[in-house]
A and B are shown apart, each in its own frame.
Chain A
Amino acid sequence: MPVLWLILIVLVIGAVGFVIGRQKALGSAGGDSRELHSLPTYYGSNVFMKVVVPALLLMVVWLVVQPLMIENTISKMIPDSEIDAGSNLGLVMAEVRRAAEGLDNAVAAGAISEDMARNARADFTDMTTRLKDAGQIVTSEITQPILAAAQQYRISTSRGSLLMTIAVIAVALAGLAWAYMQTHKDFRARNVVEQGVLAILISAASIAILTTIGIVLSLIGNTVAFADLYGVGLLVRELGHEEIARIVAADPELAAKLGQDYSDIEFGMEYYSGWARSWAGLADFFTNLDWAPSFSGRGGASSLGIIPLLWGTLYISVVALVVAVPIGLFAAVYLSEYASNRVRSFAKPMLEVLAGIPTIVYGLFALLTIGPILMSVFGDNTVGWMQGQRAVLTAGIAMGIMLIPFVSSLSDDIINAVPQAMRDGSYGLGATRSETIRQVVLPAALPGIVGAILLAASRAIGETMIVVLGAGAAARLSLNPFEAMTTVTAKIVSQLTGDSDFASPEALVAFALGMTLFLMTLGLNVFALYIVRKYREQYD
């Protein structure tokens, strides 16, 4: 039975429970709702909650666990002979799932009978063509063990879903019975519902937190893998071939472990401890002034220093903030303090529309408009400072334009939240508008504005598309704003796109970059909170 139907059934049981729970509570009070401990709706909600929540929870858990268990049992059915060289169990299991799906679809389309799908055996050559005829994508000839596994997979899956349906409905009905028994005029339904709501809210919050933790953990794992691989490469290169040969020759135990032909990397993995390798990798990652990944081959001499990328990120972000903060802030001050209602009602939505434009469009704008304009001002025809359209300034200005509505709309809300009484006090002392804004309104709004600016900074640091189009892809450590540079995010994308081998340091470095970026924005946000709190204490 499709999951959607199951959810519907549980909801219907819940709705029925709501009605009868309400009814019973009213009945127990002789129809007089004033006799009840809680409002009648709470009795209904109590029943509804106890039907729906455990049942749906069970369903979710089942949906997660069942495939894992089936994979596990099925994968034992596959003999080693089925796993070719260069392939692995995961790929074969994918083949099994595809075959099972193909069988399902073929049965649904009427190309083969259910009985045949379950039991077909000797005529398996026929099965491949039949599946193909039924329009299924079959990558290779389906062998007998795979067909058997696929058949078993289908059977287990459908048996599992049947069991799940029964179990979920049973839990729903049990919840209904339990809650219905409880329902009585003295039962404190209101408090129970309150606790239920609390539990739901808490679980929502924990899901968010757990996801964050999961993301961080996955980053950490890959970051460590990167440091390890990168570090071992550096260490063995430092030793050199001859030295390695000498060490191995001098150490018979090591030589025995490594066998006849070993690569330098294999030697390094044995010779150095995990800590030493990771430490070497990380130290180089954070101090190397050069970013030059080599894609020539594994273990090639890549230089993967984050500093040029960080520099590019910070430089472009600073340019963006220099553009966005004054303009955004002045726009906000104008909108909230000077503009008439008519102007405001027209300009504010306009700004908010700007904020919704996809960043790729700003990237195109940088490439097609800002770059050429900058070229005509600073290019070869005039002062000759700028060699190409892609430059820090091009990307920074485009990013700044992107951030203007962000800064102004947040600041506008914050400025509007400053109480009118504060302004009145200042006007009442004979201050002008701009004096009032500078000396009373902005200081009062400062914590919020600083928060808005730091949020804008986080966005600038995380921005990718504008950089790719506007600033180029060259990692460079330079002060010249007319040169092309690149940022951490742009490099993450380029390291992971294309035919990347996830086991090379050149690909894994993306995770280390991501982790660094995460820590940076985290630091920025903590700092923002600190600033905001500090000013709060002063002014509240």
Chain B
Amino acid sequence: MYDTPNTERDVDQKEIKIEARGVQVFYGTTHAIKDVDVDIEDKTVTAFIGPSGCGKSTFLRCLNRMNDTIDICRVEGKIEIDGDDIYDKRVDPVQLRAKVGMVFQKPNPFPKSIYDNIAYGPRIHGLAKTKADLDEIVEKSLRRGAIWDEVKDRLHAPGTGLSGGQQQRLCIARAVATEPEVLLMDEPCSALDPIATAQVEELIDELRENYSVVIVTHSMQQAARVSQKTAFFHLGNLVEFGETGKIFTNPEDSRTESYITGRIG
């Protein structure tokens, strides 16, 4: 039914990059995330799956404190990255977000040229010493975002003039340009055609060499193809978390099984 998950993939224990314990999220009085514990490993792709509205995006946004920008949102519990509590008072969320990059569910290029979109992060964080450095970062990022060939002749055209799928790849390129340690991707392929999807999946696989990647997806095939670990969310609860191969072939919870076989969702 699905691509057979490659159980021989390296599933040996890796260092824990992100450790979440007892995370609760409230939007006003809505309880969106209920007591979630997750360990996200370094150099691993972790997939979040679950029906719409179950809190995948919400949880993802906790990992780089993007929820801070929502007035009514309140986060409880503890999330540590490399052993440091990211909700500690002393932590600067701005610094944290440079380390934990994010690609959003809807493409959101800036109203600037393609070049400036990519150069935005490196410029803010002073990653390039010279113009040539910056040019190189831009080209490399666009190549990794699988969009270089399409835009190399119009780097100074506005990024908002691209198609939806191109915009999404631009946003992916923009996120990798700052060289984050963790990359959070919220349904990065929902607007992409199969070719671009394959390219992005290739990118994710490549990123895994150095980074930890968390991807939210509605495609079981995609989760099975790219991830080593999978977390299944349902109504704000983390129902099951484990090796991707195991989740897809032999889930423990009946809700997981119903979801991946298409009975709930």
Query: A-side interface residues toward B, CB under 8 Å?
Result: 341, 419-432, 435, 439-440, 443-444, 538-540
Contact = CB atoms under 8 A, between A and B. Distances in A.
Contacts of A423: 69
Interface string B128-172: 000000000000000000000000000000101000000000010
Contact of A429 (B101, B106, B112): B101
Majority secondary structure of chain A interface residues (helix, strand, loop or mixed): helix
A388 B215 CA distance: 71
A425 B108 contact: yes
Contacts of B121: 429-431
A538 B112 CA distance: 8
A430 B123 CA distance: 11
29 contacts: A420-B69, A421-B104, A421-B108, A422-B108, A422-B110, A424-B66, A424-B104, A425-B104, A425-B109, A425-B171, A426-B110, A427-B97, A428-B97, A428-B102, A429-B124, A429-B174, A430-B94, A430-B95, A430-B96, A430-B97, A430-B98, A430-B99, A430-B124, A430-B178, A431-B121, A439-B120, A440-B111, A443-B111, A443-B112
Contact of B175 (A428, A431, A439): A428
Nearest to B178: A429
B9 interface: no
Query: For this complex, into which size category does the number of interface residues on chain B fall?
Result: 20 to 34
Interface of B: 64, 66, 69, 71, 94-99, 101-102, 104, 106, 108-112, 120-121, 124-125, 158, 160, 171, 174-175, 178
A419 B104 CA distance: 14
Contacts of A439: 110, 120
Q: Which of A425, A429, A435, A443 has the most chain B CB atoms closer than 10 A to its own CB?
A: A429
B108 A429 contact: no
A40 to B, nearest CB: 42
A539 B162 CA distance: 11
A429 B120 contact: yes
Contacts of B160: 539-540
A425 B184 CA distance: 12
**Interface pairs A-B: 9 shortest CB-CB:** A430-B98, A539-B111, A428-B102, A421-B108, A430-B97, A425-B108, A429-B121, A444-B111, A432-B94
A424 B120 contact: no
A44 B139 CA distance: 67
A286 to B, nearest CB: 42
B111 A429 contact: no
A443 B112 CA distance: 8
A419 B95 CA distance: 23
A430 B66 CA distance: 10
A440 B111 CA distance: 7
A443 B120 CA distance: 13
B66 A428 contact: yes
A422 B102 CA distance: 13
A425 B175 CA distance: 9
Contacts of A425: 104, 108-110, 171, 174
Contacts of B171: 425
Q: Which of A421, A423, A430 has the most chain B CB atoms closer than 10 A to its own CB?
A: A430
Contacts of B98: 429-430
Contact of A428 (B104, B111, B158): B104
Contact of B108 (A419, A430, A431, A432): A419
A429 B112 CA distance: 15
Given A422-B110, A444-B111, 17 more contacts: A421-B104, A421-B108, A422-B111, A424-B69, A424-B104, A425-B108, A428-B66, A428-B101, A428-B102, A428-B175, A429-B178, A430-B97, A431-B124, A435-B124, A439-B110, A440-B110, A538-B111
B116 to A, nearest CB: 9
Contacts of B101: 428-429
Given A429-B178, A443-B111, A443-B112, A538 B66 contact: no
Contacts of B111: 422, 440, 443-444, 538-539
Contacts of A424: 66, 69, 104, 108
B128 to A, nearest CB: 15
Contact of B71 (A341, A426, A430): A341
A343 B95 CA distance: 28
Contacts of A444: 110-111
B120 A539 contact: no
Q: Which of B69, B101, B111, B125 has the most chain A CB atoms closer than 10 A to its own CB?
A: B111
A422 to B, nearest CB: 6
